C-alpha cells in the first residue's frame, strides 16, 4: 500500500525496487501473541542482557523465508554457541591470533599449494552463492554461506596445522587463509 501512497503524491520519491516478504516466525512452536504474552518482543529482548548482535544473528539464521520457522530458546543457545562462537568466532580468533603471534599483525605474502588452491576454489564457489543469496534477498541463506566459509577455513587450518610448519622450518613457505 505504501508505494501506492507515494505514487499518488506525484512527487519524485524513490520507490521500492524489491520487496522481501517472509512466512511466520513462531515462538516455541506456537504463535507469537502480545496479548497472551507468548513470545519475545523488542522491549523484552533488550532487557534479557543478550547482546543485540546475537539477536540479529539468530533471527537471520531462522528467518522464515520459504516456510514458517520457530524461535526456541534452546535452539538460540545452540546456534549462537555452535555456529557463531565455535565456528565463525573460532576461525577468526585462530587466524588473527596466528597472524599476531607469528607475523606481527601483518598479512604475509601468500604461497599457494594445491590444497590451498582447492580450498580457495571451494570458498569462491560459496562466496558466489553468498552474493546470489543477498542479491535475491535470501538473507538466511547468505548467513549460512558465511558460516560455510568459516567452516572451510577451520578445516583448512586444522588439516595444514600452520603452527607446526612455522615452528619446524621458519624458511618453509606455506599458505594461511586470512579472509
Res 179: pLDDT: 39
Q: What is the SS3 assignment for 15?
A: coil
Provide block-wise average pLDDT over 10 residues at a time, the chain (179 residues): 84 86 95 93 92 97 96 98 98 95 89 89 97 96 97 94 75 45
Q: Provide the whole-model pTM.
A: 0.81
Q: What is the pLDDT of residue 147?
A: 98
- What is the pLDDT at residue 176? 46
Give the Å distances, CA to CA, from 167 to 95, 102, 171.
Answer: 16, 10, 10
Domain boundaries, the chain: 23-168
Q: What is the C-alpha separation between 45 and 74, in angstroms, rounded?
A: 15
Kindly list the distances between the CA atom of residue 53 and the CA atoms of 35, 56, 108, in Å, as whole numbers in the listed order.
27, 5, 31
C-alpha cell at 122: 571451494
Residue 138 half-sphere exposure toward CB, CA atoms < 13 A? 13
CATH topology of domain 23-168: Isoleucyl-tRNA Synthetase; Domain 1 (1.10.730)
Give the model's pLDDT for residue 51.
Answer: 96
Amino acid at each position: 500500500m505504501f508505494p501506492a501512497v507515494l505514487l499518488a503524491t506525484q512527487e519524485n520519491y524513490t520507490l521500492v525496487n524489491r520487496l522481501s516478504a517472509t512466512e511466520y516466525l513462531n515462538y516455541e512452536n506456537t504463535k507469537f501473541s502480545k496479548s497472551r504474552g507468548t513470545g519475545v518482543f523488542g522491549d523484552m529482548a533488550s532487557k534479557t542482557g543478550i547482546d543485540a548482535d546475537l539477536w540479529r544473528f539468530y533471527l537471520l539464521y531462522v528467518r522464515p523465508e520459504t516456510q514458517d520457522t520457530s524461535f526456541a530458546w534452546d535452539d538460540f543457545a545452540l546456534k549462537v554457541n555452535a555456529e557463531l562462537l565455535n565456528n565463525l568466532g573460532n576461525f577468526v580468533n585462530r587466524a588473527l591470533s596466528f597472524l599476531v603471534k607469528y607475523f606481527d599483525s601483518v598479512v604475509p605474502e601468500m604461497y599457494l599449494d594445491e590444497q590451498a588452491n582447492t580450498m580457495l576454489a571451494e570458498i569462491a564457489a560459496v562466496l558466489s552463492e553468498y552474493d546470489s543469496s543477498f542479491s535475491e534477498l535470501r538473507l538466511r541463506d547468505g548467513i549460512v554461506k558465511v558460516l560455510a566459509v568459516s567452516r572451510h577455513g577451520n578445516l583448512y587450518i586444522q588439516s595444514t596445522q600452520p603452527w607446526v610448519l612455522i615452528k619446524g622450518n621458519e624458511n618453509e613457505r606455506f599458505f594461511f587463509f586470512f579472509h
